[in-house]
Structure 1
């Protein structure tokens, strides 16, 4: 375009220099045309010098914003685990407080016990030893709260055994409840080996209110109607005629020799929320860094 305009200018100047040339209007028109063409050519060169698409390239796409949900979600799960940790710690404190509160009398309405788990209650009656059941195997919880571990030949009888579950006929009513009298070793499974601990008189005892258990995953069915693997209140009550009430007897230092050892209450509350919240917050930090590196900075690996 510039060359063409330059040639036109030269031709116009040559025509002006010709002798006798008096027509100057075409020359002025040619100059105007040349100036417009020059401006248009300069405008085109100026616009084409700007990089096209840089702003679009820096924008975060819809997919990029969608991937931001990963660090945001894991951060939210970490916050939720913090709240769960606080709640579980407070629940454990409340249960421990209930275990150390003074015992109360067994309520007349036994259905109230469903809201009193881990509370101490006192009751009076007599054991029905002919309907005794076993639950286990279980390790022994000593009076100081330490749980023994069986397995070695020297510890097989002292650390591994069963819990004795005996129906208990209440003295002031016709109701029967289930009492976990405590732990016995394997060599004392037969009642004859612990005859001195089979008291058939009316007694008063203190026990901890417990609830039933669902069948744990991968746990096989019960061996028979006498040995149970967990607190299956449905089957226990059906075989003994007891109400669906389960109580753990407390430790009695004056118990007869070879009698079941009470105080076998396990507070079965797992508190793994600290490890969970560390995991979620770590995932949130890692995915946030990856999102910033890949989506915002566009830095390849």
Structure 2
């Protein structure tokens, strides 16, 4: 029986096949991360380029996706009676400490009847109640902000809770319905830091132009795993071949 086993050692073909499939998957994942890296860098470059351009002075019409993150200057007045709260926000201080809270969105009325939902910035959790912070600026105001077209809701993001006035995505049309407002434009405006006093709440200038970008590290990780798997598979196959050779030699005595 030992002689027959020595003559027919276990084949490495299944091992190489399984390892080859795994290596291909790892390489595909690494390549996908490189593509994501290129996409993310292009996205951040587009945002920074848009912010650096001259501010628009007229309310844009039509599809605003092509002018996302452009600065827009408007003159009008805030609605002090209506306010929306965007959940899951944070503010990083000068010492690197993060603070959790809300973004406050307030309707801004223009002379022609149009209404813009303005993200006025961050407030801590304990200042959600408007009575606990400075009142909304009254009278005619000149503001500047960044144009933000609404994006799709992520599959892990909860539905907006209109009854509790807790929002997880910025949806100007839904906010208009909840507030009984007409003439709301299909985008929001992120107030820039220069449009709000630095020590007041809400605190503007919270738009993040730099996005988390770890795709290069992820790509290197997947490629490294592919390389390690190739080496380990080769070493294991060689060890099996040597063991089979020794068994054959012992069988032939």
TM bucket normalised to smaller = 0.7 to 0.9
CA 69–102 in structure 1, closer or farther in 2 if over 3 Å, else same = same
Aligned to 2:105, which of 159, 162, 165?
Answer: 165
Give 1:107 deviation, angstroms: 4.1
Partner residue of 2:115 out of 172, 176, 191: 176
Structure 2: give runs of 5+ residues left out of the alignment: 1-6, 245-253
- 1:1-301 equivalence runs, <5 A: 61=13, 64=16, 67-109=19-61, 111-136=62-87, 138-141=89-92, 148-150=97-99, 160-171=100-111, 173-186=112-125, 188-194=127-133, 197-213=135-151, 214=153, 217=156, 219=158, 222=161, 224-240=163-179, 241=181, 242-252=184-194, 255=197, 258-267=200-209, 269-294=211-236, 298-299=241-242
What do residues 68-117 of structure 1 show as CA deviations (whole Å, max 9, x unaligned)?
233234234323423432332232233223223321234441x3322222
Deviation at 1:250, TM superposition (A): 0.7
Instruction: Compare relative contact order (CA 8 Å, sep 6+) and give the higher one, 1 or 2.
Output: 2
What is the deviation of 1:62? 8.0
1:209 is displaced (CA, Å) by 1.4
Q: TM-score, normalization: structure 2?
A: 0.72
TM-score, scaled to structure 1? 0.62
Q: Which has the higher helix share?
A: 1
Alpha-carbon shift at residue 60 of structure 1 (Å): 7.7
Residue correspondences, number: 233
CA offset at residue 218 of structure 1? 6.4
CA change 1:66–1:225 in 2 (3 A) is closer
Inter-partner Cα distance in structure 1 for 2:27 and 2:142: 54
1:60–1:135 Cα change, 3 Å: closer
Contact 1:99–1:118 under 8 Å retained in 2: yes
Which protein shows a greater Rg?
A: 1
Question: Which protein has the bigger strand share?
Answer: 2
